[in-house]
């Protein structure tokens, strides 16, 4: 079983993949090609994806039962003691330099003017 997921890729590439795989949702392709055909398809996806991203997942004989590859993703697969995990980039929380304005809510106005 092979799954290819495309994000922001040219429509021509999607049309190319429909020759070999079934598009079950926009940008999500699934099928059962041989390993040789899968490698050719993945090579074409990497070459013609443009500014888009791609993910390839397929079944294999390992502990997890599958493996995956990414192309132009911020998340990358890493091998951790024989198990493939996804490493996500660490994002820093955004802290505003100015505090939010106070006294603008309806509750603040009621407290200020003594209305209930």
pLDDT 10s digits, 61-101: 988 999 999 998 888 888 888 888 888 888 766 666 676 66
What pLDDT sits at residue 34?
Answer: 96
Q: Which residue's entry shows tokens 């003017």?
A: 113
Looking at CATH, the fold of the domain delimited by 2-87 is given as: Alpha-Beta Plaits (3.30.70)
What pLDDT sits at residue 99?
Answer: 64
Query: What value does the mean pLDDT of the chain take?
Result: 87
Q: Are 68 and 62 in contact (CB under 8 A)?
A: no
Q: Give the DSSP letter string of 69-99.
A: EEES-SSEEEEETTEEEEEPPPPPPP--SSP
What pLDDT sits at residue 7?
Answer: 94
User: Which tokens belong to 13?
Assistant: 């590439």
**pLDDT band per the 50, 70, 90 thresholds, residue 103:** low
What pLDDT sits at residue 105?
Answer: 76
**CA separation, residue 34 to residues 12, 21, 67, 97 (Å):** 22, 12, 15, 55
pLDDT digits (tens, 9 = 90+) for 18-72: 999 999 999 999 999 999 999 999 999 999 998 999 999 999 998 899 999 999 8
Q: Which residue's entry shows tokens 């490698």?
A: 39
Coil/strand/helix, residue 68: strand
Q: Give the DSSP letter string of 5-67.
A: EEES--HHHHHHHTTTSEEEETTEEEE---HHHHHHHHHHHHHH-TT-EEEEEEE-SSSSSEE
Q: Are 17 and 4 in contact (CB under 8 A)?
A: yes
């Amino acid at each position: 079983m092979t799954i290819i997921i495309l994000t922001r890729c040219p429509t021509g590439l999607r049309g190319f993949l429909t020759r070999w795989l079934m598009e079950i949702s926009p940008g999500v392709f699934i099928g059962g090609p041989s390993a040789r055909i899968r490698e050719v398809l993945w090579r074409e996806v990497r070459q013609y994806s443009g500014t888009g991203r791609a993910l390839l997942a397929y079944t294999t004989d390992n502990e997890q039962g599958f493996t995956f590859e990414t192309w132009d993703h911020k998340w990358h697969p890493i091998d951790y003691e024989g198990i493939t995990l996804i490493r996500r980039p660490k994002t820093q929380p955004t802290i505003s330099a100015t505090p939010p304005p106070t006294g603008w809510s309806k509750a603040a106005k009621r407290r200020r003017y003594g209305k209930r």
